[in-house]
Structure 1
Amino acid sequence: MDEAFGPPRLEDGRHLWRIARDSKTLDLNSPYSYVLWCRDFAATSVVARAGGEVRGFVTGFDRPEDPGTLFVWQVAVDAALRGRGLAGRMLAALADRGFRFVEATVTPDNTASDRLFTAFARDRDAELRRTPLLSGELFPGDHQPEELYRIGPLDR
């Protein structure tokens, strides 16, 4: 199935929410936040469309205190398309919008994200640095620590 990548549209917010919910692994934000994300961060996010439907997304933002650094907020792919490299292709399409660095936080048990960002760094021949960022005590309830993955500099 061929995918087309592009920025999300306002009406895509409900689809991002559904894909995130169905992932059963992401921290699910409110439907409202996904709709607003599609409005306010469309330039730093990407959706994959296949068969006319949103089948995956990467949401991110350009870090205000580190311009040129894309912080990846969430990555999700419809269950039917997982394991086909779609997440990596979306991440590459987004990073190719002129970012010099890519950052994300990853919990110790998130092997899918670790593989995604490790492969992305390898494919770009870019350094990947992992450093502790957020301890579990910063979050309510039982939450694992978040390690910062910083990839770059990326060749333009």
Structure 2
Amino acid sequence: MKIPNVSNLTFRRPHVTDGAAIWRLAAETKMLDANSVYAYLMMCDIFADTCAVASLADRLAGFATAFRKPAEPDTLFVWQIGVHPDFQGAGVGRRLLRHLLEREALSGIRYVEATVGPGNQPSRRLFLRLAEDFGTRCRTAEHYRETLFPSETVHDAELLYRIGPLDDARSVNANLPTGRL
């Protein structure tokens, strides 16, 4: 399958009207937990400053939902990153994270965290690469054990990935290559 030209992608804050499309994409990736539509509407509305979408023309290529941890405002917790199957392998997830970290509103972020299931190799590679980009460490630790999830569901344990401390994202990103990542 040929990956579309991603050099023309646009990155922006989501609008509440993006919530349904993000919900559909989360389900389509087959790697993410598809949460309620309401959860995505809320992320696009209340947490728009810490979330992002990537699109090509009017087509959703990817999204990132994240928020500042209330007890640690210097930490951005990435809840989900989803990339449309047609755009996977083209660096869209990495560019979404860079877009977020370059925002003036997130200039105080020194750490990025996410939980990743053991079978989600694309997310694992994404967060390890982010640490490499910033010349910092990525620490992993057990976070949500399998036993915490309801017995009616099948869900692997989730490891916590903690990247940082980060230097100012705008100065680091200025030295990174553009285009395909």
TM-score category, normalised to shorter length:
over 0.9
Q: Which residue is 2:21 aligned to?
A: 15
Q: Which residue is 1:103 aligned to?
A: 113
Q: State yes or no: 1:112 paired with 2:118.
A: no
Q: Which residue is 2:157 aligned to?
A: 145
Whole-angstrom distance in 1 between the partners of 2:82 and 2:95: 12
Match of 1:123 among 133, 138, 142: 133
Match of 1:134 among 144, 147, 168: 144
Whichever residue aligns with residue 91 of structure 1, its letter is L
Q: Structure 2, unaligned stretches of length 5 or more?
A: 169-181
Q: Which residue is 2:84 aligned to?
A: 78
Whole-angstrom distance in 2 between the partners of 1:44 and 1:30: 19
| 1:16-38 deviation per Cα after TM superposition (whole angstroms, max 9, x unaligned) | 01110111111001112111110
TM-score, normalised to structure 2's length? 0.83
CA RMSD of aligned residues (A): 1.0
Q: Structure 1, unaligned stretches of length 5 or more?
A: none
| Aligned partners of 1:71 and 1:104 also within 8 Å | yes
The structure number with the bigger radius of gyration is 2
Question: 1:55 offset after TM fit, Å?
Answer: 1.5
Q: State how 1:88-99 maps to structure 2 within 5 Å.
A: 88-97=94-103, 98=107, 99=109
SS at match of 2:73: coil
Q: State yes or no: 1:37 paired with 2:43.
A: yes
Question: 1:147 offset after TM fit, Å?
Answer: 0.7
Instruction: Give 4+ residue runs of structure 1 displaced > 4 Å after superposition.
Output: none
Whole-angstrom distance in 2 between the partners of 1:129 and 1:96: 22
Whole-angstrom distance in 1 between the partners of 2:41 and 2:61: 16
Whichever residue aligns with residue 56 of structure 2, its letter is A
Question: 1:133 offset after TM fit, Å?
Answer: 0.9
Question: 1:135 offset after TM fit, Å?
Answer: 0.6
| Aligned partners of 1:95 and 1:102 also within 8 Å | no
Whole-angstrom distance in 2 between the partners of 1:67 and 1:42: 16
Identity of aligned residues (%): 43
| 1:23-74 deviation per Cα after TM superposition (whole angstroms, max 9, x unaligned) | 1111001112111110011000010021123210000000001011000000
